[in-house]
Amino acid sequence: MHAAVPAPMRFRSAGPLRGTVTVPGDKSISHRSLMLSALAVGTSRIEGLLEGEDVLATAAAMRAMGAMIERSADGIWTVDGVGVGGLLQPATALDMGNSGTSTRLLMGLIASHPITATFIGDASLSKRPMGRVTEPLSLMGAEITASPGGRLPLMLRGICPAVPIEYRLPVASAQVKSAVLLAALNTPGITRVIEPVRTRDHSERMLAGFGAALTVEEIADGARLISLHGEAELKPQQIVVPGDPSSAAFIVVAALLVPGSDVTVANVGLNPTRAALFDVLRLMGGDIAYENAREVGGEPVADLRVRHSALANIAVPPDLAPSMIDEFPILFVAQALASGTGTTTGLEELRVKESDRLATMAEGLRAIGVSVEEREDGLVVTGTGGDPLPGGTTIAAKLDHRIAMSFAVAGLVSRGAVVIDDMAPVATSFPVFTDLMTGLGAEAIAG
Ligand code: S3P
């Protein structure tokens, strides 16, 4: 977990960004590869795993429940699984740190095992709602005692056999969908999840890849019905994790905004349920070329060549929200430098991320001189048309890695330096962020 001592860092403009960087492994896929490998019978091998704190929290939890997980000197991870149904009682509380994905997906896994686990997390995670997961898992038979408001710390008593359910997702959440599907793995019969709005589909892809009997059908109104036959036997896999588009997003926006920049971001996962930010930036006039398009680990991947561009604001279609849900903080920074007024709607979910990302971004943008209106479900940002922002202040990142990185990028296009009060949370998802940015020519000074 990241250090309790805050790590302030000052970012300021220092000329064009140039060069090529390779973005680290996808966080969502990394979590899922550890979890499913830990449930397979035999040894899986994972290449390109994101070695960020969130993923390491998942690895520690899977170890605590019996999986053998090792990293070799060349960065390859091997996992000896316990088999579906084979998870062991952890001896101590599972510390999830800052990671909502670890918490919600592991709650699903444990719900159908005859074990009891206590989940704890940091101050940010302890404010986030878990009721969205405890509701379906209770219907499957798990017993959950949560802190007031359905929050962490919570204790979950799994049950075996659990009861298969048909569950219609009340919120567009890949984490809730995945929690139910993972619980279904050790549940007899067929568990069905109905997803009215499409969310990231890494769980479905990977479950099928590990040999689970899973079908996905389009039903009425564009909804998807995902059916999983339980008591599955998962076969070990060789996994290659593609680069994380949610990390690439910060470099892509920085290159678009900093005059004279020409940057290639290699190894970017472009799963259509994840990559909408790049479509939106292109609609705004961003020069982003997809080069060397290929498949990595069953996911589309390309290298993105990004050149500085004059951006024009648009009304971002709300139906794109789930496929760029983590990218709104950095999109708001792009909007602040574009011409005209950019609007976003349908973003209520941003209020329950690592921080309330609508409030935190509105407050921070205002502090660095951006004209912004906060609405219940989105922001209205009036851009400068490319002129630098005033900057010259300190931003409270509120234990939210994506807020910290977004304002770091804003610092590169501000007249006065932008100080991030604490960059430590960046280690949850993108530990090499500052190194990659300074390697491209950005100026970042600790303290
Ligand atoms: C994730 C799903 C998203 C996303 C999070 C990772 C996942 O959350 O914000 O960073 O790996 O399933 P929701 O599904 O709750 O929107």
Please indicate whether residue 98, judged by its CB atom, sits closer than 6 Å to ligand 1.
Answer: no
Structure tokens at 58: 């998942």
Give the pLDDT confidence of 281-333 residue by residue, as tens digits.
999 999 999 999 999 888 999 999 999 999 999 999 999 999 999 999 999 99
Tell me how far the alpha carbon of residue 94 lies from the centroid of ligand 1, in angstroms.
20
pLDDT at 2: 52
Please indicate whether residue 326, judged by its CB atom, sits closer than 6 Å to ligand 1.
Answer: yes
Tell me how far the alpha carbon of residue 200 lies from the centroid of ligand 1, in angstroms.
8
Are the C-beta atoms of residues 183 and 140 closer than 8 Å to each other? yes
Please indicate whether residue 246, judged by its CB atom, sits closer than 6 Å to ligand 1.
Answer: no
Please indicate whether residue 349, judged by its CB atom, sits closer than 6 Å to ligand 1.
Answer: yes
pLDDT band, residue 232 (cuts 50/70/90) = confident
Residues 6+ apart with CB under 8 A from 15: 258, 260, 441
Are the C-beta atoms of residues 421 and 7 closer than 8 Å to each other? no
pLDDT at 163: 98
Give the pLDDT confidence of 398-434 residue by residue, as tens digits.
999 999 999 999 999 999 999 999 999 999 999 999 9
Q: What is the pTM of this model?
A: 0.98
Tell me how far the alpha carbon of residue 295 lies from the centroid of ligand 1, in angstroms.
22
What is the chain's mean pLDDT, rounded? 97
Instruction: Please report, rounded to a whole number, the percentage of residues in the chain having pLDDT higher than 90.
Output: 97
> Pairing mode, if any, of strands 9-12 and 151-157?
unpaired
Tell whether the model's pLDDT for residue 164 goes beyond 60: yes
Give the pLDDT confidence of 54-77 residue by residue, as tens digits.
999 999 999 999 999 999 999 999
Tell me how far the alpha carbon of residue 63 lies from the centroid of ligand 1, in angstroms.
23
Letter for the amino acid at 237?
Q
Letter for the amino acid at 94?
L
Please indicate whether residue 173, judged by its CB atom, sits closer than 6 Å to ligand 1.
Answer: yes
326 is catalytic: yes
HSE-CB at 332 with a 13 A cutoff on CA atoms is 34
Please indicate whether residue 124, judged by its CB atom, sits closer than 6 Å to ligand 1.
Answer: no
Cα angle, residue 154 at apex, residues 148 and 157 outer, rounded to 5°? 130
In order of their start, the domains of the chain are 9-25+242-446 (3.65.10.10), 27-240 (3.65.10.10)
Mutate to test the pocket of ligand 1, among 53, 55, 101 (most ligand atoms within 8 A of CB): 101
- Of 326, 400, 421, 422, the active-site residue reads 326
pLDDT at 297: 83
What average pLDDT does this structure show over 103-132? 98
